[in-house]
Each structure stands twice: as structure tokens, then as C-alpha cells.
Structure 1
Amino acid sequence: MNDEHRTPGDWDAIVIGSGMGGLTCAGYLAVTGHRVLVLEQAGVVGGNSHVFRRRSAYEFDAGVHYIGDCGPDGVLPSILRGLALEDRVTFRAMDPDGFDEVVLPGLRMLVPTGWDRYLDRLTGVLPQDKEGLREFVEVCSSVGAEMRWALLSAAGAEPAEMMRRTATMMAWGRRSLHHLFEHCALSADARTALAAQALNYGIGPEEATVGMHASVMDHYLRGAAYPVGGGQMLSASLVEAITGHGGTVRVRQRVERVLVEDGRVYGVLLDSGEELRAPVVVSNADYPRTVLELVGEEHFAPPIVKRARTAVMGHPLVVLYVGLDRELPGTGPNVWWHGGPVEDAFRELADGRFDSPQSVFISFASAKDPDTAAIRPPGHANFQVMALCPRPLDAWGAAAADPDGEGYRRDPAYLAEKERVTEAMLATAERALGPFRSHITHLELATPATQRRYTRSTGGSPFGLARWGGTGARPDTRTGVKGLYVVGQSTRYGSGITGAAVSGIACAGQITDRPLLPEVHGGAVLGDPRLLPERGAGWDPLHACGGRAPRGGSR
């Protein structure tokens, strides 16, 4: 840790929140010799990587649906390997000939690995757009590759080399995806096929930048995979790295305030009244909440406060969790279904309309991890139907719209809207998959209020910032307060599980003044496998993260 951070305290660093960003940062601080404490306000560690169980039969992922770039030199595998976790998390590769299925009216396409094969599939189903698709893919594949190079290899690069190696990113990275669609003169069907997986980052083509879209697509086109045992395997393994190297992880510990004096943090105040001291505080809360609620705007420069007040988050989600007493033959692990042009669907969301979802993502855990018995009983199906919804939560009732609302789950207005949306989601899912209602054994809807309750995210969005000042702008993990850092999906490192993990290792690198990500991507292993705890018979990743229900038990 830099000498500027070395002051007396209970801990060297306190991490608020246990999402992938917070756990990854804490893991790298722990393996580099720092006393680190992770505080999680919920009862289970993991943030959007946690799972929950129902009916002693089904295990559902909250946010891990699939992960890209999981080959030998992949980003997330490298981060885990650097913590000596390579043998503790196994990624099961999804079909390289079609890990995603895109379905539009009159068009069906399997998305393969590799930009060249992806372009071949696109031009095969959209021959009238061949030239525009070729230019679009050329731009996005170049931007994706350049962004990955900059992330992994640019430490110490000369400015001239940086400019030479990232020319396409400089030209296109911060323009809107809609701008690139227009430039390539693409049809509505081509635009919808290209932006079909926009739910991976939670905003539409007019808000998403080319850089955001390209980096996400490049991530998956390098090969999609799913962690064997479910998303909780990621957070459970990171907890083992933290605690094995002397750190501490606590659940049901809500931070009320980050303590600041003379422009420097000195600890946190819990809602119990307990004060904990540390010269470094890392917030895994989103950026607006960190600035306006946890720290206080009086400690930031006016431009930062203005950005926090006017920030726009990604769209929130509704998620329908479904268990069936049979499999659905012929259905791939991921289906992206669109009933019409994707840009029209996002304009409806911007106008606050959500009568019936016109675009859904359907993800089958039972197809991606068929050998993990906890996911579903033999012969059953376990899947999720996900749709973006308007940002204002007013439609869910006053209690749900209130950021401090606690009693929304019993509010009649909330229950009525939840019932209406459940029926609308079912109707759309059956349009995509065919009839299945008579086989339902479990049905449960999670709303933006659910997301906010478990992760305390602004607006109930799981995607982080959509707008922070100018187009494409996102903050780094450093802040204007000495010793205060922010990690997670609101930072410039991107969305999703891998983006959040990258923010965590980048933050730890800034705190320790080391290029940690290039180090571990180059093969360095900083963790000591001998310090990791044994996994005995019946080891349960959810139990290891604070969850009380054993596999096969109720929650």
C-alpha cells in the first residue's frame, strides 16, 4: 500500500459491498499483505453473483447468466488464477457454433464464436445489408480488440504507441451505437440483430456507445462459458482467497456513512453506531449513491456533485424465475427474442411504456450446467425470462418508488402491478418458446424494487451508470477524496461480472501502485494456494457466503 495511506487504524482497507468489484479488490489487497475487511449489508455475499433456492428443488442465479473470454488467456480466468483460484472455479464452455440464439420476426440466427464467423452468420440472414454489416463488424471488432489491448498491455506504453494501437477506438469509441448504425445505413432488422444482446448492458443504441457495445460483444465472441456450480462459485472462491490470506468478510453489516476529515477518509460508521477505522475505503455501491449518500456531497468538487445529481442509470430489470416439470426440447441455453425493431422498444421504455415486453432474454441454467443437481430435479427445466423496464418506478406504487420504501412488498398497488407484469412476461415467453404454463412448478417475479432491496442500487438498476456527464463518460475508481475509491459497474471498466472484476483489480492496483492486471494476465500468481481452506464433503458455496440453506434445502 502506498505510504500516503499508512495511518493507524483497525484495518488497512474497508470494502463496502461484496459484489464482484468489491470482492476482487479485497482479494488482491489481501494477497498483497493488507488487512482488509469486507462489509455486506445483505445476508449473503456476492451481490449480483449470488444465488437463491426455492422449494428444496431449484437454484436460481441473480445475475450470472454467462461469461465471455474464458479461454486460457481470458480476463476473468487470469484474475482468478492470480488469486490461486484457478482450480476452484471451472468454466463450462457453451456451444462455439451457437452460444446465443437471436430470434426476430422472420429471422433466426445462432451466434458463434469469432468475429469472422459472426459476420458470416449476419450476412447469411441479412444479405441486403451485407456491405453495411461488413463495415459495422470491422469497426466493432477493431474497437473491441484495441480496448482489450489497452486494458491488458498498455501499462507504460508511450503516448505515440497508444494512439497508434487504438486509432479506431479513438475515432469511434465514444460515439453512440445509433450513430454507427446510421453511418453503415443498416436496416431495422440488421440493427435489431446487432443490438439483440443489449440487455447485457442495459441501455439502447441511442445511449450505448460503440465502445461499450464492442467490448461486450468482443468479450462473448472470444468464447462464452458458465461457471460450473452456478454464480455463487465465483463469490465463494473469492471469499476463500480473502479469508485465507488474513482478511475478514462480514454479512448483515450496513454502512451508514463513510467518515471523512480534512479531505481524507478515516473509516466508516455502521447503522449499529459502531465506528471502524481504516485509511482506505473502497465503495462497491454505485457512484451516485457513494457521493450523495455514503460520503456526502460536501466532500466533493461541484462538478462531481452535479454529475452525481444528474446521473442516469441503466434501465432496471424485471426477471421471471421459472421451474418446469419437464425440459423444453430444441431450446438453446440463451434466447434473445425481439417482437419488433429494438430501437422502437427502447423508445417505448424511454416514454415510460411497459404494457407488454417487446424484447426478452431467456436463459436456461439447466442447459448451461446440466450436471449440477441443485439447479433442478432430474427432467425439470430451470430458466429465467428477463426484460428491461422504464427507469421511473412509479408504476410499481408509491412504496416501491420511494428510495427508502421498506413496506412495498405488501403494498396493494405493488402486488397488482407485479401480477400484471408476471402475466405479460409469461405471454411473451410463450410467444418465444411455445406453451409451457401447464408444466410450471415454480414461478416468481423479481422487480427493480427487489434489486434495490438486495443491492441498494440507485433506481433498482443492476447495470451501473448509463450517463455520467458527457456521452460515454464514466469515472475511474479513484475519487477526489484521499483514500476513497469506487469499484463496480459504475466505473469505466465496463458492465457485467468481468467488468466489475476488472474494476476491482484495477482499484487494488491503484492502491498498491502495481499494474496487477497485466501482471496476472502475464501469468503471475500472487495468492498462496496453501492458505486456502479445504472444501470438505458437502461443501456448499451458498453456505460459504453466509446463506443458510444447504443444497437441497429451503431458503
Structure 2
Amino acid sequence: MELTRSVYAWMVSNPSLVVAVLLAVLFITVLAKFMSGPPVGKNPFAKATTSPPQPLVTDQAKRNNVLKQGIHYIGGMRNLTNFKVYIDHITDGQLQWTGVVEPYDTVVIGDNEKARHYPMYGGKDEFKQSLLDKFPQEKKAIDKYFDLLKATRASALGHVMAKIVPTWWIDFLASTGLIHYFTNYYKYSQRSVSDVMNELTDNKELQTVIAYSFGDYGSPPSEGSFAMHCDLINHMRYGVSYPVGGASEIAFHIIPSIEKAGGKVLVRAQVSQILLEDSGKAFGVRVHKSSGDVDIHAPIIISDAGFFNTFQSLLPPQIMDKSGFKPMVKKGTIKHGVGAMSIFVGLKGSKEDLALEGRNWWVYTSNDITNITEEYIGRSVENVLKDDIPLLFISFPSAKDPTWEQRYPGKSTCAVVTLANWEWFKKWENERVMKRGEEYDKLKNSIGERAWAQVLRLFPHLKDKVDYFEVGSPVSNKYYLGSPAGEIYGLDHTKERFGPKAVTRLRAQTMVPNLYMTGQDILSCGFAGAAYGGLLSASAVLNRNLFKDLSQLKKTIAKNK
């Protein structure tokens, strides 16, 4: 009896711990039930399958895989990380990486001679020290920022787990507030980058430098999820890499692994419809061909077409009505990402001739980063060019690739990316490619020329070196990438999207039996986000925890080394 009273007294004095223990027990029970049912699939990470790297394939006739737009830099490839093991595995070890020079990014704020430069370094301590060197009076704010980076990294499991356990369970935890007993992730994901920056410091210059890379996911600081921003910074924090041979090497080396496993990769095969049985189960896709549509049947359908394409174009409208997504779209919880413009420039001269570096430049006209971005995106088409473009991402891909000079001697490339409003170009979305008319060409080329003029302020010696100049608009993105509103990062990375309700519904397993989603929209944008989205999808299809299997494979490789 005395023991019972003692236990009761302890429970009364420690209610939070009691609730946490009870919830943990319930969580394990629900998860065990959820993971039971269909047989567990084969472990694709049972053993390392990489082969010794083969010589770079440079014969363009063999490659037939030229990509203008691709990866600018990737984190997590310099050491034996889970991500590197994963990518090595699905490319049979043939995809090689080279470290991008340090500093890998430089933030430029202001114009011409008055512009301020802030180098961003990779490494355990170098990144933080680069901020302290430029802002010694802001040590307290910088220390707090790095504390938040560490905290969000530790809470990231809360993001992934919400995509595995039943939706009703996450809804219950979120509505009661008990979800915070499991993870701190949503404390960070539900705040905007601007909100946190304003809390850390009133120094606009430091705010811009901390938030500079929001262009890597597209959402303005006033809307972007702080947790998502931290995920990106943590991903890049220890140095970044670039694929040897260029971004097209990624697809080039993944395709053989797919075919080795019995798959087939088809191009110029536009899927127009996901086929459903009367019972509602997915059983195939319809491929549109000029010679007549072709139906391809399969027991499992996985869509990497993105949320909006999948639910608004490939499935019947009633599926969207019943999915629970419709009110979230109407409210703006889930919405299209911001459109983008891309300028591709071919240059006469080698890297040495033109003094090019393999890093990236993020150029802002002002340190009022939120207002200048929102003002630009909100402009009418008539006022697009009233003054400078407030944000430019500038990169020299050829300078990053150690094999470039041997393949294209005496030539170099530059890529420039900026944000754009889909509404500026929407009226041309159904016009034929390369034949959209003089008005369209004038608008997109004028933006491209303005962007290049701003680039030349940083690199005036490139003025007479242009050999090739092409501009891609949001309409180009729709045509080549299938992005409905000209976005390149899929769904907008807002704090609403990264709330528990949206997170738990944007998952691999859909309400349609046999239909799964994958890619950027079920996790986050970019190569890493899409790749881990694929791991979530494979986990759902195989009914096993591939994240655990991958981690175990990494441990085995580390032990053998």
C-alpha cells in the first residue's frame, strides 16, 4: 500500500513525464500495428553493390542525355554519410563527386563599388567563424542561430515519422498539443524564417546573410518554414560537392541500376491518366502517343509527377474531392511554389582564361531581403523591369567540373537563376514551344538581358565573351519539367505546408489503393529531398523501414573500411 501511494505521488508530481511515457507506449503499439499486415519486402540495402568507377562516358551519341538545368551543389557527399551510401548504392558507385571550392557561396549585398561581400564556408567550425568574422558584435545572435540549427537537426525525425504513422494519430497529437512531447520539429516548422531572424537580431545585414539561400527552396523569408531552412543549412554545413561530368551524370548512372533490376526508363512518353478499376484501385497508366494512346498495366503505380499533376490532372476530380486535400489547397496550406527564370550563357574562354571560380554568388540589391523579394514577385508585368532584379543566383558549372576542359576546351558556361511570377507568362502556357510570339520573346529576353547586365557588374570582363545566350521562363519550366505554375521546387515550402496536418497527408501512400507518390512534394525540394522522398515511397511499398536498413549498411561499410 505504501508503495502504491509513493508511485501515485510521483505520478502527480511528474505529469509531463507520465504523459510522455503513456504516449510512447501508445505510439509503439500503433506503429507496430501499422507496420504489420502485408509481408515485409526484400531489403535493397542488405549489402553494398557498388562497382569500381568506370571511365567517364563522354560520347554524346551514347549519352543522349543533355540537360541544361540541373544540380548546382549537394551536401553530405564529402564523408561517409547515410546520403552518400544511398546515392552510391543506386548508382552502382559510378557517380563521382568533387568538392566545390571554399567559400562555396558568396553573398553580395548592394550594387557596384558599394556592394558588401560575405563568404560562406563549409566545415564544422568554419561556417560559424565566417559569420563571426563579419559580425563580431552579433556573437549572441549567431550563437543562438547555431543552437537552433542543432536543435532542428535533432528534431528532424518528427518530420519523417509523421509520414509513416496513421494520419488520425498525428491529427490527435496535433489537436491536443501532445505532439510536442514527441518532437520539437513543429515548434520550428511553424515559424517563418523572417520571424526567427527578427527575434535573433535587428541587424538587417546579418538577417540577409543568414537567410540568403532561401532561393534554394523558393519561398520568401516571410513565408518559408524555418525548420526547412535549417534542414538546408545543415545539409550544406560541412561542405558541398558537384557531380564529376555535370548534373546529367546523376540520371545517366541511375538508369542502369533501374534496368539491372528489371525496370525500363522511357522518355517522350507522356502519361495522361492513371487507370483505376471500378473498385477504385490503380492498375496502370495511359501514355499519350500521336499514333494512339497506350495503356501500361502494373500492380503498383508510383507518381513522381508532383502533387498537383497527380491529383488535379491524372486522377478523376472526385478523388481530389474525397482526399482531404481540397480544403488545404483552397486555404493555401498547399500551393504552387514560386516560378523561376533561368539564363544559360555559353562563354568563349576557359576557366583560367576568364578567371572563373567554381563557387556560387547570391546577389541582393538590398539587405531588406523580405520586402525586396515580395515587391518584385508582386509586380505587374508592365513593371517587371522598372528597376533591377532584387535576387540573382550566379554559378559557373563548367568551373566546378574537373573534366570540363578536356571535353570542351576553350569554352565555359554560366547559369543565372531568379524568381518570377507565373502570372507574367501564364497567357502563353498553351502556345507551341519556340513559337510563342514576339511579345513573349521580348518579355523573357528583356528579363534575361537585365539579369545579365547585373551579372556583368560583378564580372565586367565577361562582357564580350558571350557565345550563346538562352532564357527559360516559367512557361519553359512547365513544358520541360511539367511544373503546372512554372515552379522548379514543387510545392511551396511555407510554414503551413510543414505543419503536422499537411506533413502527415503529403506522404507516399495515397488514399487510392496501389497508388503511391514520391519525389519533392512528399518531403522537400532538391536532389536530396527528392531522393529521400523516394526512400519513403520504397519503404511504404516494401512495408519496411529502409531508413534503418540504410543506416545499418553505412555501419557495415564503415566497419569494413
The verdict on a shared fold, with TM-score over 0.5 as the criterion, is yes
Aligned to 1:345: 372
Partner Cα separation in structure 1 for residue 390 and residue 149 of structure 2: 26
Q: Indicate the SS of the match to 2:141.
A: helix
Aligned to 2:96: 90
Q: 1:108 aligns with which of 103, 110, 117?
A: 117
For structure 2, which runs of at least 5 residues remain unmatched after alignment? 1-34, 47-57, 174-178, 557-561
Q: Is it true that 1:268 corresponds to 2:289 in the alignment?
A: no
1:60, CA displacement in angstroms? 5.9
Partner Cα separation in structure 1 for residue 495 and residue 203 of structure 2: 31
Provide Cα deviations, 1:418-462, integer angstroms capped at 9, x if missing partner: 221121111111123224221111111111111111121120111
Aligned to 1:243: 259
Q: Indicate the SS of the match to 1:454.
A: helix
Q: 2:298 aligns with which of 272, 278, 291?
A: 278
Q: 1:181 aligns with which of 182, 185, 197?
A: 197
Partner Cα separation in structure 1 for residue 43 and residue 417 of structure 2: 36
Aligned to 1:313: 336
- On the 8 A contact 1:52/1:61 being kept in 2, the answer is no
For residue 399 of structure 1, what is the amino acid of its counterpart?
A: W
Q: Is it true that 1:487 corresponds to 2:518 in the alignment?
A: yes
Q: 2:467 aligns with which of 441, 444, 447?
A: 441
1:223, CA displacement in angstroms? 2.0
Q: 2:427 aligns with which of 398, 419, 442?
A: 398
1:155, CA displacement in angstroms? 9.2
Partner Cα separation in structure 2 for residue 317 and residue 52 of structure 1: 31
Q: How does 1:189-338 map to 2 (within 5 A)?
A: 189-261=205-277, 262-272=279-289, 273-300=293-320, 301=322, 303-308=324-329, 310=332, 311-326=334-349, 327=351, 328-329=354-355, 331-338=357-364
1:130, CA displacement in angstroms? 2.8
- On the 8 A contact 2:43/2:546 being kept in 1, the answer is no
1:361, CA displacement in angstroms? 0.8
For residue 371 of structure 2, what is the amino acid of its counterpart?
A: D
- On the 8 A contact 2:224/2:493 being kept in 1, the answer is no
Partner Cα separation in structure 2 for residue 266 and residue 398 of structure 1: 35
Q: 1:74 aligns with which of 74, 78, 81?
A: 81
- On the 8 A contact 1:396/1:413 being kept in 2, the answer is no
User: Residues 418 and 277 of structure 1: is their aligned pair in 2 closer, same or farther, counting only changes over 3 Å?
Assistant: same
The number of residue pairs the alignment matches comes to 472
For residue 449 of structure 2, what is the amino acid of its counterpart?
A: E
Partner Cα separation in structure 2 for residue 78 and residue 371 of structure 1: 24
Q: 1:382 aligns with which of 399, 407, 413?
A: 413
- On the 8 A contact 1:334/1:364 being kept in 2, the answer is yes
Provide Cα deviations, 1:443-502, integer angstroms capped at 9, x if missing partner: 1111111111112112011111116893524411221111111112112x2110111011
Q: Is it true that 1:140 corresponds to 2:152 in the alignment?
A: no
Aligned alpha-carbon RMSD (Å) = 3.5
Partner Cα separation in structure 1 for residue 371 and residue 124 of structure 2: 27
User: Residues 268 and 468 of structure 1: is their aligned pair in 2 closer, same or farther, counting only changes over 3 Å?
Assistant: farther
For residue 103 of structure 2, what is the amino acid of its counterpart?
A: G
For residue 374 of structure 2, what is the amino acid of its counterpart?
A: R
Q: Indicate the SS of the match to 1:459.
A: coil
Q: Indicate the SS of the match to 2:467.
A: strand
Provide Cα deviations, 1:139-165, integer angstroms capped at 9, x if missing partner: 12321343279759x999xx99x9678
For structure 1, which runs of at least 5 residues remain unmatched after alignment? 7-27, 34-50, 527-555
Provide Cα deviations, 1:280-323, integer angstroms capped at 9, x if missing partner: 21111110121011012212425312334554222121111112
1:522, CA displacement in angstroms? 2.4
For residue 371 of structure 1, what is the amino acid of its counterpart?
A: T
Aligned to 2:449: 423
Partner Cα separation in structure 2 for residue 386 and residue 374 of structure 1: 27
Aligned to 1:370: 402
Q: How does 1:30-41 map to 2 (within 5 A)?
A: none
- On the 8 A contact 1:176/1:207 being kept in 2, the answer is yes
- On the 8 A contact 2:191/2:495 being kept in 1, the answer is no
1:414, CA displacement in angstroms? 0.7
Partner Cα separation in structure 1 for residue 38 and residue 440 of structure 2: 47
1:407, CA displacement in angstroms? 5.0
- On the 8 A contact 2:280/2:513 being kept in 1, the answer is yes
Provide Cα deviations, 1:312-350, integer angstroms capped at 9, x if missing partner: 222121111112112432645211111113212221234
Partner Cα separation in structure 2 for residue 427 and residue 118 of structure 1: 31
Aligned to 1:466: 492
Aligned to 2:481: 455
User: Residues 305 and 406 of structure 1: is their aligned pair in 2 closer, same or farther, counting only changes over 3 Å?
Assistant: farther
Partner Cα separation in structure 2 for residue 515 and residue 225 of structure 1: 28
Bigger RCO (CA 8 Å, 6+ sep): 1
Q: 1:99 aligns with which of 104, 110, 117?
A: 104
- On the 8 A contact 2:394/2:417 being kept in 1, the answer is yes
- On the 8 A contact 1:103/1:337 being kept in 2, the answer is yes
User: Residues 520 and 336 of structure 1: is their aligned pair in 2 closer, same or farther, counting only changes over 3 Å?
Assistant: same
1:399, CA displacement in angstroms? 1.8
**TM-score for both structures, normalised by structure 2:** 0.76
Partner Cα separation in structure 2 for residue 468 and residue 164 of structure 1: 23
Provide Cα deviations, 1:79-116, integer angstroms capped at 9, x if missing partner: 12333x35201111123x41111112342122112354
The structure that has the greater radius of gyration is 2
Partner Cα separation in structure 2 for residue 454 and residue 247 of structure 1: 23
Partner Cα separation in structure 1 for residue 425 and residue 455 of structure 2: 21
Partner Cα separation in structure 2 for residue 4 and residue 277 of structure 1: 25
Aligned to 1:17: none
- On the 8 A contact 1:365/1:375 being kept in 2, the answer is no
User: Residues 453 and 330 of structure 1: is their aligned pair in 2 closer, same or farther, counting only changes over 3 Å?
Assistant: closer
Q: Is it true that 1:509 corresponds to 2:539 in the alignment?
A: yes
User: Residues 253 and 60 of structure 1: is their aligned pair in 2 closer, same or farther, counting only changes over 3 Å?
Assistant: closer
Instruction: Give the number of the structure whose residues are more often helix, by fraction.
Output: 2
Partner Cα separation in structure 1 for residue 459 and residue 551 of structure 2: 40
For residue 214 of structure 1, what is the amino acid of its counterpart?
A: C
Partner Cα separation in structure 1 for residue 93 and residue 493 of structure 2: 38
The worse-fitting range, judged by mean Cα deviation, of 349-358 and 382-391 is 349-358
Q: Indicate the SS of the match to 1:240.
A: helix
Q: Indicate the SS of the match to 1:289.
A: helix
Q: How does 1:39-58 map to 2 (within 5 A)?
A: none
Q: Indicate the SS of the match to 2:272.
A: strand
- On the 8 A contact 2:73/2:240 being kept in 1, the answer is yes
Q: Indicate the SS of the match to 1:256.
A: strand
Between the aligned residues of both structures, percent identity stands at 21
**TM-score for both structures, normalised by structure 1:** 0.77
Provide Cα deviations, 1:67-87, integer angstroms capped at 9, x if missing partner: 11113333432212333x352
